[in-house]
Amino acid sequence: MRDDYISSPNPKRLYRSRDKVIAGVCGGIAERMGWDPTITRVVAAICLFGGVGFIIPVYLVVWAITPYQPYRPRNLTPDEERFWTSVSDRPRETFSNIRYKFKDMDDRLARMERSVTSEEWKLRKEFRDLEGI
C-alpha cells in the first residue's frame, strides 16, 4: 500500500514559529532553513540596527502572510510523527483523506471477497484437503 496521501504536500513550508520572541518570523525562517533561531534573531537585530531599512517592512509583510506552525507534539515515535503529518487543520482535507483510506480498504476487501468466493478458490481448497490426507 502506498502512503503518498499521508505525507504533507509541502513539508518544508514556511511557518511562524510557536516558540516566538516577537512574532515567530525569525524562528520560522530558522526552522525552515535548519538554522539556529538565536543566530537568526541576532542577524535580524544587527540588520535592523545596522541601518538596513527594508528589514522592518519585510518583517511586517512576512508576519502578516505566514500562518502559525500547526501544532505537533514533541518527542514522537515514527508512527506518531507519520500520523501527525497526515492530520490537517482543514476539516475538508482531513475528511477527504479519511474517505480515501476507507475507499481503498473497501476496494481491497471487495477484491479479497471475490477471490475467496470464486470457484477457483474452492477447487484449490479441495486439492489442498486431498493432499493433506
Model confidence pLDDT, tens digit, residues 25-81: 888 888 878 788 888 889 888 888 887 777 888 888 888 888 877 666 667 788 877
Q: What is the pLDDT of residue 103?
A: 94
> CB of 6 within 8 A of CB of 86?
yes
Query: Using 50, 70 and 90 to split pLDDT, how confident is the model at 117?
Result: confident
pLDDT at residue 124 greater than cutoff 70: yes
To the nearest whole number, what is the mean pLDDT of the chain?
78
Q: What is the pLDDT of residue 1?
A: 40
pLDDT at residue 106 greater than cutoff 50: yes
- What are the CA-CA distances from residue 63 to residues 12, 14, 56 (Å)? 18, 11, 10
Q: What is the pLDDT of residue 108?
A: 95
Cell triple for residue 1?
500500500
Which position has the higher pLDDT, 5 or 77?
Answer: 77
Q: What is the pLDDT of residue 122?
A: 84
Per-residue three-class SS string for the chain: CCCCCCCCCCCCCCCECCCCCCCCHHHHHHHHHCCCHHHHHHHHHHHHHCCCCCHHHHHHHHHHHCCECCCCCCCCCHHHHHHHHHCCCCHHHHHHHHHHHHHHHHHHHHHHHHHHCCHHHHHHHHHHHHHHC
Query: Using 50, 70 and 90 to split pLDDT, how confident is the model at 4?
Result: very low
